[in-house]
Amino acid sequence: LTMKRIYPSGSQKRKQKKEEEHKKNTRHERCQIVRKGPVQITDIEFPQNSENPPRRFTKENYRRTMKNGEKILRSWLVYSMSTDSVFCFPCTVLGKRDNALSNCGFHKWKNLTYHLKEHEYSKGHCDNMRNWHELQRRLQNKTTIDQRQQTLMQIEIEHWKAVIRRVIAIICHLAERNQALRGTTSVLYDPHNGNFLAQVELMAKFDPVMNEHIRRRQNQEAKVHYLSGTIQNEIIALIGNKVLEEIITQRDYSVIMDCTPDISHKEQLSVVLRLVNCDPSVSIAEHFFGFIDVEDTSGKGLTEVLLDHLQKHNLSISDCRGQSYDNGSNMMGQKQGVRARILQLNNKALCIPCSSHKLNLVVADAAKSSVLSTSFFGVLQRLYNLFSSSVQRWAVLRKHVKQLTLKPLSATRWEARIDSVKVVRYQLPEILEALSALQTFGIEKGDSETMSSSFLLCTIIWYNVLYQVNHVSKLLQSPNVSMGTLRAETEGVREYLEDFRENRLASCQTDAKDIAENLDMEMNLPEKKQRKKKRQFQYEGTEETQSTPDETFRRDFFLPLVDTALRSLGDRLSRLKGVYDLYDFLFSKDNMKQTIKNGKLHERCKKLEQTLHDIDADDLAFEINSSLHTFPDHVATCPFDMLNYIYSEKLLDLYSTLSIALRLLLTLPVSVASGERSFSALKLIKTYMRSTMGQERLTGLALMSIEREVCRSLDMEDIVVAFAEAKVHKQKF
């Protein structure tokens, strides 16, 4: 027994060693907590308890009121949101935890003032306060007893911070370029370990920090290495959340949504937010907000998914000012679509049909207007198929056609068909030479000339129409476009088509004749044989009207094409009439003057107030009248310039209501082009070899790739600190 008391057993030694290590860790952790100090929460609404009457903690309890009315801050008092109770910081960290304020927390708010006063005069609290301030002073002056251990620990902390910085930098570098991070193995210096570990190995050749880190890993001196796929997912999610925090800076927003299946046959919903940022200068941006895996693609399912995603990021649907989708019935349905369901929740979320899709459908309707239009595009596709089906044939084409090459038709992007028409419009002689080189003409000479004349005139007409539509479509796909620009450009397309219908056919025929002269062929349109009508009675006339080839071409091809385009454009523009009637008097200074001249300014302002509930009609009318004499002519041409002038000249106090109306106008989306652009990143990130990627990792990588400018602006130290806080093991003392 005596020997056992003098010489402890192996289990007792292990127990003593464990207790010593625990005390050592406790000292280090206490020093870290004291160095960080208490955090007093003040910017929340404190919950009520179940007492009768119900009571709550208030931020006034952080201060002690003296008899002379002076208020002294209780720096030692902290509030816990998880337990709805208060703690004494020095007694909890350095004391024995022998009372509620230092153990489980105090939450009896009725007697809080008395208990706080009693506690701050107790001997234990005074001793702990002195120990707290003494330890805090020693940590600042680096004069603690275990300063050597503190110094070594600080060196180790800086080493791991440096490692994390490099890991984050490598992940950001690969994510911005849509490159795969992981390989088939996760072993260092294995040729199949992926791009991430390959970058680590390359950096270790020149960087001493990463070289030391790999040495520790290979010698098994460190239990953690932060190079695994799990750590990659955590860092990607962390950076993605930081990017979203940087994006969501404004209260009012518009939502843009579109769906597409990915390589793993999952329906991915792309969500884009359109925001107007006025600090320090006015800018309009459409930011990618994430991919969501949806199983129910009905209007109800998509609405529920959107609402959950907005709530997850603390966005209220009541702050949504606009919505834009493609023309799918699940999105744009009048009763069961996402549009209708969002309007039921928030009638201020005005729906703007995608302008790019409208122009696409206008061209698509025009292409189906006649048999000749259908056969024209069929010839273009057959030309491409003929040359692209063989390497030798493509070489013949490239030998004759130097500047442009034949393009295939697109089944979805109708405005892209201008690329197919353009090469034929400007290089038809070269294409014919390439066809002659292939010896593919198996028709008679006269038939060839007749077909070529008709085909050539169709090419000129379609190129003029597609060029105008494509120019406007590309312009409207920019995030900076506002509703005023949308109205002006679409009206310009309508006016162009009307003028084209009345006056431009002759100029197209002239251009076609010029090209025909270069080809040494006559510009003769085919004559359509007139069908003889059988006479049923003797009194029926025998004379029948005979149309010329030009009149037949105009009646059967030109007029159906242009009239169909005009009718389709008018039908689709009529859907925006409600938005124009609400906002068009704010499109420019001239519109404001015209509204005042007609005596409808107050009526229009009142209608805007009843719809938005965010402005005062009288104040808006007064500020519009004042702005007519203040705004220079060069900044009063569009809402963006007017809003930018208000903020740049610091006139917000004079035009506060007008600035709100202009900001809400600019928040309205014009197209879903930003959502469709995110599909390109989706195809680059989630490829066939990466089809098993998780949804959170996919969204994080897409955010880092699409919003690379925002990602580069993030402070690396904030990400390192956030990662450390996420990985720290919280332990009660």
* pLDDT tens digits along 271-322: 999 999 887 788 899 999 999 999 998 999 999 999 999 999 989 999 999 9
Of 399-413, 631-645, 650-664, which has the strongest mean pLDDT? 650-664
| pLDDT for 355 | 74
For the whole model, what pTM was predicted?
Answer: 0.75
Mean pLDDT throughout 588-613?
89
| pLDDT for 22 | 43
CATH of 236-354+672-727, one of 3.30.40.230, 3.10.129.10, 3.40.570.10, 3.30.420.40: 3.30.420.40
CA 175 – CA 196 distance, rounded (Å): 10
With CA atoms as reference, report the closest residue to 246 among 726, 707, 724.
Answer: 707
All CATH 3.30.420.40 domain ranges of the chain, comma separated, are 236-354+672-727
193-207, 369-383, 545-559, 639-653: which has the minimum mean pLDDT? 545-559
Mean pLDDT throughout 117-144?
84
* pLDDT tens digits along 675-725: 888 999 999 999 988 998 999 999 999 999 999 999 999 888 888 888 887
DSSP one-letter code for 280: S
CA 112 – CA 101 distance, rounded (Å): 11
Polymer length of the chain: 733
| pLDDT for 729 | 43
| pLDDT for 401 | 87
> Mean of the per-residue pLDDT values for the chain?
84
CA-angle at 201, arms to 197 and 204, nearest 5°: 135
Q: Residue 256 in 3-state DSSP? A: strand
pLDDT grade for 540, boundaries at 50, 70 and 90: low
Quote the tokens at residue 666. 């600019």
CA 533 – CA 590 distance, rounded (Å): 60
Higher pLDDT, 110 or 255: 255
CA 509 – CA 554 distance, rounded (Å): 11
Contacts 24+ apart (CB under 8 A), 146-150: 146/27, 149/24, 149/28, 150/28, 150/31
With CA atoms as reference, report the closest residue to 319 among 262, 280, 274.
Answer: 274
| pLDDT for 589 | 86
3-state secondary structure 392-459: HHHHHHHHHCCCCCCCCCCCCCHHHHHHHHHHHHHHHHHHHHHHHHHCCCCCCHHHHHHHHHHHHHHH
Residue 7 confidence (pLDDT) above 60: no
pLDDT grade for 532, boundaries at 50, 70 and 90: low
With CA atoms as reference, report the closest residue to 270 among 332, 339, 325.
Answer: 325
Q: 220's torsion region: left (phi>0), alpha (psi -120 to 50) or beta?
A: left
| pLDDT for 634 | 79
* pLDDT tens digits along 611-646: 888 888 999 999 998 888 888 887 878 888 899 989
DSSP assignment of 107-125:
--GGGHHHHHHHHHTSHHH
* pLDDT tens digits along 347-370: 889 888 887 776 777 777 788 878
Mean pLDDT throughout 475-484?
84
| pLDDT for 12 | 55
- Enclosing H/E stretch for 130: helix 123-141
Q: Residue 707 in 3-state DSSP? A: coil
| pLDDT for 684 | 93
With CA atoms as reference, report the closest residue to 37 among 154, 135, 150.
Answer: 135
Residue 163 confidence (pLDDT) above 50: yes
Hey, what amino acid is at 309? H
Quick one: angle between helices 391-400 and 418-438, nearest 10?
100
Higher pLDDT, 472 or 414: 472
Query: Which residues fall within 8 angstroms of residue 459, CB to CB, at 6 or more apart?
Result: 376, 421, 424, 425, 428, 512
Cβ atoms of 341 and 299 within 8 Å: the answer is yes
Q: Please give the backbone phi and psi of residue 323, each rounded to the nearest 5 degrees, phi first.
A: -145, 145
